[in-house]
């Protein structure tokens, strides 16, 4: 059975580019993003790892710890890190798991049993401070991931947790949001004293509260 949203992210201990890591201890009380790759020295992933490193200020603002994974050895990671810096102009600043034994890949069900493991490990997991899985994404090998979208989703998740709102289609920071249905009108009036607009009993729009990291 595949991992489900809301399920506790499996813990593990594995070698990485920054030494051995026990996953839950590494995350501590932070959010986390675990994103996986096929073997080292692959072109699309080279650009992705550099982008995650480049986005360090954005991860830090949101209290997110990124951790990569490749089904290759730590020795290869060292050489790949040099290539990433030379071709992308960005040094890695987060750990990359050396999952050559595919322990973590199997634990997180990243590899389809009938597919080539060198091209199928392309998963993303967003994990909250309670170690619950809040987002899963799987990309094809030739399509680069959109980390702007991943940041957007993390913003939405943190907004929901802090303010009991949901985000509508194509939401961006600053746009109106939806009051979650489980919140009564009386509770909504207390939480949103400036008022809200009821389009339907189940659809109540309100001005977006501040994101937690921008309060």
In a domain, 8, yes or no: no
In a domain, 158, yes or no: no
- Between CA 164 and CA 161 the distance in angstroms is 6
pLDDT in tens, 58-117: 999 999 999 999 887 545 557 778 888 888 889 999 999 988 888 998 899 887 666 565
pLDDT at 129: 97
pLDDT in tens, 12-66: 999 998 899 999 999 999 999 999 876 655 778 889 999 999 999 999 999 999 9
Name residue, tokens 């990309």.
139
User: Are residues 135 and 43 part of one domain?
Assistant: yes
SS3 25: helix
Give exposure, 143-173, as e/b (b: 16+ Cβ within 10 Å): eebebeebbbbbbbbbbbeebbbebeeebee
Among 9, 33, 45, 156, the one annotated catalytic:
45
DSSP for 132-154, written as a single string = BEEEEEE--TTS---HHHHHHHH
What is the pTM (predicted TM-score) of this model? Answer: 0.90
User: Are residues 174 and 97 part of one domain?
Assistant: no
Q: How many domains does the chain have?
A: 2
The residue count of the chain comes to 215
Is 184 part of the annotated catalytic residue set? no
């Amino acid at each position: 059975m595949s991992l489900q949203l809301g399920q506790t992210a499996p813990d593990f201990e594995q070698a990485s580019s920054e030494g051995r890591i026990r996953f839950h201890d590494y995350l501590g009380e932070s959010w986390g993003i675990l994103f996986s790759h096929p073997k080292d020295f692959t072109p699309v992933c080279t650009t992705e790892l550099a982008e995650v490193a480049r986005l360090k200020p954005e991860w830090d603002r949101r209290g997110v710890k990124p951790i990569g994974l490749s089904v290759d050895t730590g020795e290869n990671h060292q050489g790949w890190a040099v290539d990433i810096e030379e071709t992308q102009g960005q040094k890695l600043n987060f750990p990359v798991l050396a999952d050559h034994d595919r322990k973590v890949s199997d634990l997180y069900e990243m590899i389809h049993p009938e597919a080539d493991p060198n091209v199928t490990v392309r998963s993303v997991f967003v994990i909250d401070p309670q170690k619950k899985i809040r987002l899963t994404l799987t990309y094809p090998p030739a399509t680069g991931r959109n980390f702007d979208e991943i940041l957007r989703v993390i913003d939405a998740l943190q907004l929901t947790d802090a303010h009991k709102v949901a985000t509508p289609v194509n939401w961006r920071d600053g746009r109106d949001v939806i009051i979650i249905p489980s919140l009564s009108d009386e509770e909504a009036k207390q939480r949103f004293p400036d008022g809200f607009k009821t389009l339907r009993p189940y659809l109540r729009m309100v001005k977006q509260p501040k994101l937690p990291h921008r309060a």
